[in-house]
Amino acid sequence: MIDALEVQGSVAPEFAAVKDAFVQNFKDGLEVGASLNITVEGEQVVDLWAGHADAEKTKPWNRDTLVNVWSTTKGITSIAVAILVDRGLLRYRDTVAQHWPDFAQGGKSDVTVGQLLSHQAGLCGMRQPTVVEDFYDWDKTCRRLAAMEPFWKLGEGSGYHAITFGFLAGELIRRIDGRTPGTFIKEEIAEPLGADFHVGLPENLENRVSLVIKAPTPPQLTGEQPPDYVIATMANPPIDSEFPHDRGWRAAEIPSANGHGTAHALSRIYAAMANGGSIDGVKIISKDTIKRATTEQCNGTDRILGMPSRWGAGFALNNGGLYGPNDSAFGHSGMGGSMGYADPSKRVSVGYTMNQMQAEIRGDSRTLAINKALYECL
């Protein structure tokens, strides 16, 4: 099977080692289908794809294959919020309730936008029993979150808002701009940049979708009895890697977890972020606002994931080499392995998508190898 692997696309000669790392992931049996796209100073230097778009390996993976990128979606949603900041419609120091009055219920009147986006609000999961279909009902989910009492007091740390982040950030977008978050992302980010990325997948694109493939060993909650907020986040409902197999999931707008896109789309969007907010004459945001959006909001052990985390205003800030060696790098990764990030210090952007999920919570071995090769080439 390895001998039959056909890697398509292009790579600049000085980045041949990146292609080697990409191919090695297939040789090691870690991939079924995957794409990788990298730009440096706005120029594409790596554009690779290989493998299959189905577990049975009957359908080829193409450059335009779309796949659910899970929490990598959060980075794109955070760019959308930052655009509102850039336009003077929102400030990270504003309270959420200034723009969403019902949010003040349950003792949340002092929560700022910056704290909300950096997972400090204590709304990591739902208190009442929830099924995945509830996330297909935007208004119902937002009403529940607005009425909720947080799981911890403001100032008691941050804990990853796995699914709820998208509704919290997305409702701010909707209330300020009037458009749904998926429409805002489409019209203000994806279409201007020519990026094939969707939150709320149109039905006519279904034929290009690869379903994700469950990790061989799914991640497990640790400890005899996890705290109630961990259970609420990870098991109410249990986050199932087969959610994206359902048309209802793909059609809904879940701006934390159901973005569908290509590696090129992620790299293209982050190329703008790596180059002061503009690429090829298209400006989506200012350099100053990028700096504000990536200013550290909190730094410590995550209450849900139990690992060190640094958060800007929705962006994962580089921590422990997750996105190469430079502190300036920021972006977001998704459950199972997908990744998009920018490194403004090197004017680098990276997008990586795949269908074979792996179980690592802290740094996927495939992306770590790709990033290592990349920075050795720079």
Taking the CA of residue 372 as centre, how many other CA atoms within 13 Å lie in the half-sphere pointing to its CB?
A: 11
Strand partners, 199: 259
- CA geometry: angle at 144 spanning 138 and 146, to 5°? 100
Supply 188's token pair. 């203000």
Give the type of residue at 133: E
Which entry of 10, 35, 71, 78 is annotated as an active-site residue?
71
CB–CB of 77/36 below 8 Å?
no
| Active-site residue, 309 included | no
Question: Which residues lie closer than 8 Å to 56 by C-beta, 6 or more apart?
Answer: none
- Whose tokens are 């577990």? That residue is 55
Answer for the pair 98, 104: CB distance below 8 angstroms, yes or no: no
Phi, psi of 263 (to 5 degrees): -60, -40
Structure token pair of residue 220: 């497990």
User: Across the beta sheet with 197-199, what order do the strands follow?
Assistant: 197-199, 259-261, 66-68, 209-210
Pick from 199, 205, 323, 194: which is nearest to 269 by CA? 194
Task: Just list the catalytic residues.
Answer: 71
